[in-house]
Amino acid sequence: MKSLISQDKPVERLIIFILGLLIMSLGIVLVITANLGSAPWDILNIGLHIQFGLTIGSWAIIVGFFILLIAAILSKKFPPFGALLNMVLVGIFIDFFLLLPIMITPSALFNRWIMFLIGLIIMGYGMGIYISAKLGAGPRDSLMIVLSEKFGGSIAKTRLFMEAMVLIIGWILGGPVSWGTIIYAILIGRIAGWSIPQCTKWTAYILNRNVRTGKNIKQPKMEREAK
């Protein structure tokens, strides 16, 4: 909770954070619905859903909880507020979007690829929006940072190891590994590289707009007092 309270404009940041998670979850569901292969962690959640029941969103919350628990034990720190909120809301939003009647896998392969690519872009920009609120990393990123600091590996190698292990487990459980998984691995970093700087600028503009507007309103009054 400190990560929220210590920030300026906490309410505005919280709204942006939740909006980003909502948009990112929509992208995740579009990619899942396209049925061309998903991201490693989504493959794991789908595999768990296939094998043990419960919803995909429920497994996202359960897996996220254990990830945060491991990160907390290794770092000996309580998980940040943003990571906890991320864990819960993404799972809820995923299940919400999956229940929508319009979330149907297209019959034509071309349309499925269009859905997949649109979902990938939406996911990347949702990620950029929630990160721009600066309320903390999600469960996976929290564990990645802790593992990197604990064992001395680079962020890139730690992330690659985590994604590979999760992908293998998800595939064994029956999760959808296909060409889309490869496309995701190739494109998501580039999309995030575009979206995060853009969303950071947009968020900074939104958060500072009221300040600038306030100054513009006060200026005529100051001029009158000076006269």
Q: Concatenated DSSP letters for 64-113? A: HHHHHHHHHHHHTSPPPHHHHHHHHHHHHHHHHHHTSTT----SSHHHHH
- Tens of pLDDT, residue by residue over 128-160, are 898 888 887 778 777 877 887 777 777 667 877
The whole-number pLDDT of residue 161 equals 85
Is residue 187 a contact partner of residue 62, using CB atoms and an 8 Å limit?
no
Per-residue pLDDT at 153: 72
Mean pLDDT, the chain, rounded, equals 84
Checking if the pLDDT of 217 tops 80, the result is no
What confidence category does residue 219 fall into, taking pLDDT thresholds of 50, 70 and 90? very low
At CA 107, angle to CA 102 and CA 113, rounded to 5?
A: 85
User: How does pLDDT run across 51-64, given as a tens digit for each residue?
Assistant: 998 999 999 999 99
Is residue 4 within 8 A of residue 13, CB to CB? The reply is yes
For the beta carbon of residue 206, count every other beta carbon within 10 angstroms: 15
Q: What is the pTM for the complete model shown?
A: 0.82
Rounded to the nearest 5°, which phi and psi values hold at 38?
A: -125, 180
- State pLDDT tens for residues 23-76: 999 999 999 999 999 888 999 999 999 999 899 999 999 999 998 888 888 888
Judge whether residue 6 has pLDDT over 90. no
Round to whole Å and give the CA distance between 105 and 48: 21
Q: Give the pLDDT band (50/70/90) at residue 215.
A: very low
CA distances from 105 to 71, 98, 110 (A): 36, 11, 11
- 22 has a pLDDT exceeding 70: yes
Buried b (16+ CB within 10 A) or exposed e, 26-61: bbbbbbbbbebbbbbbbbbbbbbbeeeeebbbbbbb
